Amino acid sequence: MNKEIPLTVTRSTCPLCNKELVTNWVEQDIPFFGEVMHITSLCECGFRYSDTLIMSQREPVHFEFTVKSMDDLNVRVVRSTSGTIKIPELGVDIEPGPASESFISNIEGVLDRVEEILDMVIRWGEEEKTERAHELKCIIGKIKAGESEVTIVIEDPMGNSAIIAEKAIRRRLTDEEAALLKTGIVIFETT
């Protein structure tokens, strides 16, 4: 028996064309995330926005996993909007910002996202940065071929991110470590 998921629809103005922007809001309970709100906005001009907001907060968490083989590329990665992904061997830190999106992927998908950013850097054409981007893409190629090891770290001060694997190391972040992390949440204060 399928349980119907309640849908809320709101209407606003598209930031690109000023026509009507329809936004769907769907609340759902998802394993490893808990209660979430899926948000999808779509305009006839082609503007789209989607995100998944996590409605709960858990203890601050640090996950670490070492990729040693091609099979490890299939390990599931859950990144909430407040999660920071670090790949120390590559010097990569993916920190949350105001437009951060959550995702569920695998380690190969995370590496693909890094490659997309490196491709953008290469298109900019700044010689020094382009050279480094090519070096990092070469290393990622070796990781994907199982020829090089890499460590994937996820830290989340709100505890909603994870690396789901038996060999993943999980520990609670100290309050000091959690305080140093960005959350991606914009807070408006009134005085």
Most confident range, picked from 93-102, 103-112, 179-188: 103-112
Of 150 and 3, the structure prediction assigns the larger pLDDT to 150
Domain, as residue range, for 37: 7-54
| Confidence label for 32 from pLDDT (cuts 50, 70 and 90) | low
* Same-domain status, 130 and 78: yes
* Same-domain status, 26 and 101: no
- Residue 186 located in a structural domain: no
- Residue 134 located in a structural domain: yes
| Confidence label for 186 from pLDDT (cuts 50, 70 and 90) | very low
pLDDT of 30 above 80:
no
Question: Given 54, 71, 87, which residue is the final one in a domain?
Answer: 54
* Same-domain status, 77 and 94: yes
pLDDT in tens, 111-139: 999 999 999 999 998 888 999 999 999 99
* Same-domain status, 19 and 90: no
Q: What is the mean pLDDT of residues 45-57?
A: 78
pLDDT of 13 above 90:
yes
Alpha-helix runs per DSSP H in 41-182: 107-124, 127-144, 175-180
pTM of the model: 0.72
Which residues share a beta bridge with 155? Answer: 62, 84
State the maximum Cα–Cα separation within the chain, in Å, rounded to a whole number.
59
CA distance 151 to 135: 17
- Residue 85 located in a structural domain: yes
Of 185 and 30, the structure prediction assigns the larger pLDDT to 30
* Same-domain status, 111 and 163: yes
* Same-domain status, 123 and 67: yes
CA distance 140 to 108: 9
pLDDT of amino acid 190:
44
Give the CA-trace dihedral at 25, 156, 153, 181, to 10 degrees.
120
Burial class of 158 by CB neighbour count within 10 A (0 to 12, 13 to 18, 19+)? buried
Q: In what order do the strands lie in the sheet with 103-106?
A: 103-106, 76-79, 162-164
- Residue 157 located in a structural domain: yes
Of 64 and 50, the structure prediction assigns the larger pLDDT to 64
- Residue 27 located in a structural domain: yes
pLDDT of 98 above 80:
no
Q: What CATH number should be reported for the domain holding residue 40?
A: 2.20.25.420
3-state secondary structure of 52: strand
* Same-domain status, 65 and 50: no
* Same-domain status, 73 and 141: yes
* Same-domain status, 50 and 87: no
- Residue 74 located in a structural domain: yes
| Confidence label for 33 from pLDDT (cuts 50, 70 and 90) | low
State the total domains in the chain: 2
